[in-house]
């Protein structure tokens, strides 16, 4: 595989590639202009906007944007042989891409973990949004987020960020193995 890659965001190519990868219409809709399935996603999911090219990771030539957050976090996927890899990175640090899993569950788990951790939404809001996109593991995400809060409260009030990100990545990747 080449050691360069391109981040695909332009329409209709982006949507065609995502459909060709087999992504659900609900996941694709999170990055579609004006087609977000629930208002809760309006802040967290906007259409991918920034054309990027890079060197090194990932070892493929196409990284297809699914959606971006309003603060520059990119959620994307790529083909890796016969399987898919869902990846996450920040626009300003695109060389630091992280493979978060091999299924939509991992992508949705990361998104709902971020939404839940923001503490701006009620449980009913979260449940309605999860139902709107068919995400079945909201209870697991809530348990994870609250366990992380408990770890923080019982500790010295400062997160060991390396351990936190290792636990977060392990949790999200674990969702890939479901369904």
pLDDT of residue 87: 92
By residue range, what is the domain housing residue 62? 4-175
Nearest one of 8, 6, 33 to 18, comparing CA atoms: 8
pLDDT of residue 176: 76
In tens digits, what is the pLDDT along the chain, a chain of 179 residues?
345 677 878 889 889 999 999 999 999 999 887 777 888 998 889 888 866 665 554 445 688 999 998 888 899 999 888 889 999 988 888 778 899 999 999 999 999 998 988 878 889 999 999 999 999 999 999 999 888 878 777 766 666 778 878 888 888 888 877 76
Into how many domains does the chain fold?
1
Rounded to whole angstroms, how far apart are CA atoms 71 and 132? 23
Q: Output 23-30 pairs: Cβ under 8 A, ≥24 positions apart.
A: 23/66, 23/77, 23/104, 24/104, 24/134, 26/132, 26/133, 26/134, 27/66, 27/104, 27/107, 27/108, 27/133, 28/66, 30/66, 30/67, 30/111, 30/133
Reading the block at residue 35, the tokens are 């087609």
Rounded to two decimals, the pTM is 0.83
Q: 120: number of CA atoms within 13 Å, CB side?
A: 9
pLDDT of residue 103: 92
- Phi, psi (degrees; rounded to nearest 5) at 115: -65, -45
Greatest CA separation for the chain:
49
DSSP β-bridge partners for residue 86? 77, 101
pLDDT of residue 158: 66
pLDDT of residue 152: 75
């Amino acid at each position: 595989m080449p050691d360069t890659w391109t981040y695909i965001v332009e329409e209709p190519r982006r949507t065609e590639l995502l459909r060709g990868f087999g992504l659900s219409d609900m996941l694709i809709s999170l990055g579609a202009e004006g087609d977000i399935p629930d208002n809760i996603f309006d802040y967290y999911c906007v259409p991918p906007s920034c054309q990027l090219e890079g060197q090194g990771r990932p070892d493929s030539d196409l990284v297809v944007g699914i959606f971006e957050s309003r603060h520059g976090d990119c959620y994307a996927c790529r083909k890796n042989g016969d399987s898919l890899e869902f990846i996450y990175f920040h626009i300003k640090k695109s060389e630091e891409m992280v493979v978060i899993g091999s299924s939509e569950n991992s992508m949705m788990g990361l998104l709902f973990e971020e939404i839940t951790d923001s503490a701006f939404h009620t449980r009913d809001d979260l449940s309605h949004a999860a139902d709107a996109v068919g995400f079945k593991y909201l209870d697991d995400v809530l348990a994870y987020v609250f366990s992380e809060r408990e770890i923080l409260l019982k500790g010295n009030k400062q997160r060991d960020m390396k351990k936190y990100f290792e636990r977060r990545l392990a949790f999200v990747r674990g969702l890939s193995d479901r369904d």
